[in-house]
Chains A and B, each alone.
Chain A
Amino acid sequence: MLHKIKLEKFTAFESLEVTFSSGLNILIGANGTGKTHILKVLYAACDITKSKKSLSEKINKVFLPSGEQIGRLAKRKTVSTEGSVEVIRHVNNPPKPIAIRLRLSNHTKTPDKATVSGAFKQWLAHPLESVYIPVKDMMANAPGFRSLYELRDIHFEEIYADIISRASLPLLRGGVDTPRKSLLEILQKAMNGKVIQKNEEFFLKNEQGELEFTLLAEGMRKLALLWLLIQNGTLLQGSVLFWDEPETNLNPRIMKTIVEILLELQRMGVQIFLTTHDYIILKEVDLQTRPGDDILYHSLYRDPESHEIQATQTKHYLEIAHNTIDEAFGDIMDRDMVRSMGTLGR
């Protein structure tokens, strides 16, 4: 389970430390407050336990700085900068926290020149299944993409190739257990079908036949992706799901189902990190949370004086500070009010 991240002079961050819940972590904040960057660092730290890549290489591929110069990930300053990231997780056998760190400067050209330290061997000795669902859908573009990515230098962050790989994994041995079956049924009802794959191409199969993903609404592709990841056993107890802005291309009515699935996955022991700008997601989590659920809202914001990114955490929806989503509604309400009431009462 991922426990904490520390970022020092890395990308947009001057100095930030965030502690996570073992259940559902929801990151909110205005654009440019680093929500996706946190997800990418955490994902890279998880992925290397399976891919056995170096942390610096994976972070470089996931962020894809210009010219793949990893030093560009150090916080931009007029003087030389040394930046670092540290990820801390709890492992079992024996239970203890372990950490890995990546240190780089703005002069570091290649990943092999960046310094990786910490309990790296122990980190790799405890594999952590993880999946990163990016904002943009890639499932319709899956045919041939992975081989193209492997063979050619195309300018795509590695998360796009990774998600296709995860979705294309065959079923786990032993079939689908009951909790996952019930989740699959919820999704099948919402998208009115099941997903099948033929020669790297995905189709939604229902009574009308097989509909290729290119003809499917993007929102439905997201549900289908979730279905695949649950069905093939990528999302199991102990795995980590990163989802960047699930609301993109989804009708708000489907959020009820999405949140239902996310909370059930959390109850099954999947650690989840999601970023959102969406009121419906926040409110659905608030409404569907049961006693015993492990939810933590992280609010990222820029300090008005230093302009640096800071974060607050709360377990309770009504206590979310710096809630830019509610503030946006408040701003609309205020302007609507002025239009309705003019200067009365002012």
Chain B
Amino acid sequence: MKITADGFEFDFTDAIDVFVFDEKDKTKPGYHDAQMMKAVDLIVELQECYLFVEMKDIFDTDRYIQSQERDPCPRENRQCPHELSPFKRLKELSKYKFHDTYPFRHAEQKVDKPIRYICLLTFENAFNLHMQKTLQQELPVGRVSRRWQSGLAESCVVVHVAAWNRLFPKWPVRLLA
């Protein structure tokens, strides 16, 4: 299943369904009409899980600025991302996109399989490892409360395009020019 979003083209060859989750086009059936909530870019349904996919091409300056403008200051109880360092801003946005997508999907009654979060960021390995560790702690990954019956996120990984293609050969991705 091929899909294009935010300057990336994917082919999820073993997917049951793939769609743009933060759809802005009101005429499309998948329009994200709860504008007060943030949203990850893509959702992929596989046999065994859902993938929440968030992409950012940091080196595509125009597109990155547009994406920042699309993300208004979050609710009052959260620190405004515009006041944060670039790393923290990106981390907070990636985190809150997951945090808002989860209840939206819960309300859709679409959290019936484990959820895995993949962030596709065009950074180098060391930065991605740092971002991955921070997101794993803050999402959080796994069942962190004794009262929980399941975790919010089964896993969270942060990769660049080359690593994605190396590690997920069934889901090739390319950056569109």
**Chain A residues close to B by CB (< 8 Å):** 279, 283, 326, 329-330, 332-334, 336-338, 340-341, 344-346
Contact = CB atoms under 8 A, between A and B. Distances in A.
Given A326-B125, A336-B157, A345-B167, 6 more contacts: A326-B126, A333-B132, A336-B129, A340-B155, A341-B167, A346-B168
Contacts of A336: 129, 132, 157
Contacts of A346: 167-170
Interface residues of B, number: 21
A330 B48 CA distance: 27
B171 interface: yes
A94 B40 CA distance: 66
Contacts of A337: 157, 159, 163, 167
Contacts, number: 53
Given A345-B167, A345-B169, A345-B170, A340 B126 contact: no
The 5 closest A-B pairs by CB, nearest first: A345-B168, A329-B125, A340-B155, A330-B125, A329-B126
Given A337-B157, A341-B116, A329 B129 contact: yes
Interface in B124-177: 124-126, 128-129, 132, 155-157, 159, 163, 166-171
A330 B124 CA distance: 9
A279 B126 contact: yes
B168 A333 contact: no
A337 B124 CA distance: 15
B46 A333 contact: no
Contacts of B126: 279, 283, 326, 329
A334 B167 contact: yes
B144 to A, nearest CB: 16
B49 interface: yes
